[in-house]
Structure 1
Amino acid sequence: MNSVLSTALEGTVRIMQKQQVHANNLANLSTSGFRADYLSTMEAAENAAAGEKIDSQQWSSFESGPMMQTGRSLDVAINGEGWFAVLDDKGKEAYTRAGSFMVDQAGMLKTRDGHAVLSDAGPVVLPPFERVEVGSDGRITVKPQGARENALAEIGVLKLVNPAAADISKSQDGLFRRDVPDPLPADPAIRVSSGILEGSNVNAVKEMVSFIELGRQYEMQLKTMKSMENIGASGDKLLRA
């Protein structure tokens, strides 16, 4: 009986963890380039005396999000597979699909979360400009302030990488990283579109359905624990009779 209660209790904990993951997905429904997360559980008998051990594994969906036309030159979307390379808060290379870029006061190109965007030669730094363009191959050109209309300066090429899904995973800061510390090589075959932004790949309807199903599962686990409690109480009465 204790093993049944233990299993039901672990089940409620896992259900609550799944609900937190789905809640985070819904909170990022409008976050550019966000990848939905899911929590899977794998049940395996540890031994006959100790009951069942439940392990959890979080994973991310790599499906593309919807493409939205913005007309803004620093909104950049990757066509198909691939990732933008950025620097995380520790100065290490990480990866994101969020292509809504901005330029800070020092001219550094950054994501909306403040991560420096990488080119083939390091962080992208733009001079004062009147216009900036991003080509389909990630090539960045600007028209410097005060320059003639056709006087364009090439700044660099966005570092675009294409790792296998199994080789990267999401960290708590929302960036993806390799399981090994070595940076990925750039993939010149990746193409991007300027003036377009990739949205979140979260499916709101799917998330709400999951919430309802998890709520029902949670109620079932509570009923199981309550039944075991009642059976235990009945057993105690019989022993005292």
Structure 2
Amino acid sequence: MITSLWTASTGLTAQQVQIDIIANNLANVSTNGFKQARGIFADLLYQTLRQPGAQSSLTTQIPDGLQIGLGVTPVSTGRIFTQGSLQQTGNSLDMAIDGAGFFQVLLPDGTTAYTRDGSFQKDNQGQIVTANGYPLQPAITIAAQALTVTVAPDGVVSITLPNVTAPVQVGTIQVATFVNNGGLQSVGENLFLETASSGTATPNTPGTNGSGVVVQNYVEASNVNVAQELVLMIQTQRAYEANAKVVSTSDQMLARLTQL
């Protein structure tokens, strides 16, 4: 009876983790470049009462055995890096990646971070930065007197200047790809960091080596499917209630035993 109490308690914990993940997904349904997370769970150890394949007689074996599971545990939160829809903004510094890859930005400590959020702006030096002020890498500076900014699908950034007929190229955006996107570490602010699991970032010219192209005047929306999350939330709630019922039932059975 004690076993069922502890087993059900692991189920309660696992479903609470699942609800927390769903809540974060729904909270970020309007976050540019956000990638939906999902909970990954694994069963715990088993109490083996009869070993499968053990001898039941001189000539026979137990076919299945008797093993009682001890519950479940959360093991990871996987990211689903499917493409989000592209939303037009009309801002010439807004960019989306249509396909694989990440924009590269420089953090204050010198670390390179990676993002799918292409809602860029200019700082007081004319440098292209994120909404939180982190410079795009490689660095690109837009002259104060620039009349227009054009970003080609291959990442080439050009501006037009007064009294200059031809566009002036001021830099090229690179798109970083990884062997394992799921190994990236989420650090908030729509940023990811490279880890040993993700592999080393490979900078690419957009549209080459399997990387996506850059689309100007658009941002990538969150890939969270609200209807899917709501259905999963209902399923998780029912699973939580079922585990709570097991705890309650086990408690009642223990109480009855103590009265004997």
TM-score range, shorter chain: 0.7 to 0.9
Q: After superposition, give the CA deviation of every residue in 1:171-230 in whole Å (9 maximum; x if it has no partner).
A: 131422222398523112142111122111000000111111111111101100000110
Residue range with higher mean Cα deviation, 21-30 or 105-114: 105-114
Contact (CA 8 Å) 2:10, 2:71: kept in 1 or not? no
Deviates more, 1:31-40 or 1:48-57: 48-57
Q: Read off the aligned partner of 1:93 and give its amino acid letter.
A: T
CA displacement at 1:151 relative to structure 2: 4.9
Equivalent residue, structure 2, for 1:35? 35
Letter in 1 for 2:195: D
Separation in 2, partners of 1:82, 1:136: 13
- Identity across the alignment (%): 28
Q: Which amino acid aligns with 2:39?
A: L
Shift of 1:113: 3.4
For 2:150, the equivalent position in structure 1 comes to: 133
- Corresponding position: 1:215 with 2:237: yes
Separation of aligned partners in 2, 1:230 and 1:182: 52
Matched residues in 2 for 1:168 and 1:136: separation? 27
Structure 2 alignment gaps of length 5 or more:
49-67
User: CA 1:141–1:222 in 2, change beyond 3 Å: closer, same or farther?
Assistant: same
Which residue of structure 2 lines up, in the alignment, with residue 165 of structure 1? 180
Change beyond 3 A, Cα 1:88–1:12: farther
Q: Which residue of 2 aligns with 1:101?
A: 120
CA contact (8 A) 2:84 2:223 kept: yes
Match status 1:5 vs 2:5: yes
C-alpha distance 203-53 of structure 1, shift in aligned 2 (>3 A): closer
1:45 counterpart residue number: 45
Q: Is the 8 A contact 1:60 1:170 kept in 2?
A: no
Larger Rg: 2
Instruction: Give the whole-Å Cα distance in 2 for the aligned partners of 1:114 and 1:34.
Output: 19
Q: TM-score, normalised by structure 2?
A: 0.81
Q: Give deviations 1:99-157, integer Å, cap 9, x for gaps.
A: 111111222211223322112xxx3333313321111111112234xx32525332211
Superposition pairs for residues 1-241 of structure 1, below 5 Å? 1-45=1-45, 48=48, 51-52=70-71, 54-119=73-138, 123-128=139-144, 129-144=146-161, 147-166=162-181, 168-173=183-188, 174-180=190-196, 184-188=201-205, 189=208, 190=211, 191-238=213-260
> Residues 168 and 103 from structure 1, CA distance in 2 versus in 1: closer, same or farther, beyond 3 angstroms?
farther
* RMSD, aligned α-carbons: 2.2
Query: Shift of residue 159 of structure 1?
Result: 2.0
Could you tell me which residue of structure 1 aligns to residue 59 of structure 2?
none
* SS of the residue 2:44 aligns to: strand
Give the distance between the partners of 1:221 and 1:88, measured in 2 at CA. 44
**Number of matched residues?**
233
Q: What one-letter code is carried by the residue in structure 2 that aligns with 1:6?
A: W
Shift of the alpha carbon at 1:237?
0.6
The 1-side partners of 2:72 and 2:234 are apart by 25
Taking structure 1 as the reference length, what is the TM-score of the superposition?
0.87
- Output the CA distance in 2 between the equivalents of 1:76 and 1:47: 55
Match of 1:33, SS state, is: coil
Q: Give the secondary-structure state (helix, strand or coil) at the position aligned to 1:14.
A: helix
Residue ranges of structure 1 left out of the alignment (5+ in a row): none
Per-residue deviation, 1:66: 0.7
Q: Is the 1:35–1:200 contact (alpha carbons within 8 Å) kept by the matching residues of 2? A: yes
4+ aligned runs moved over 4 Å, structure 1: 46-50
Secondary structure, in 3 states, of the residue corresponding to 1:210? helix
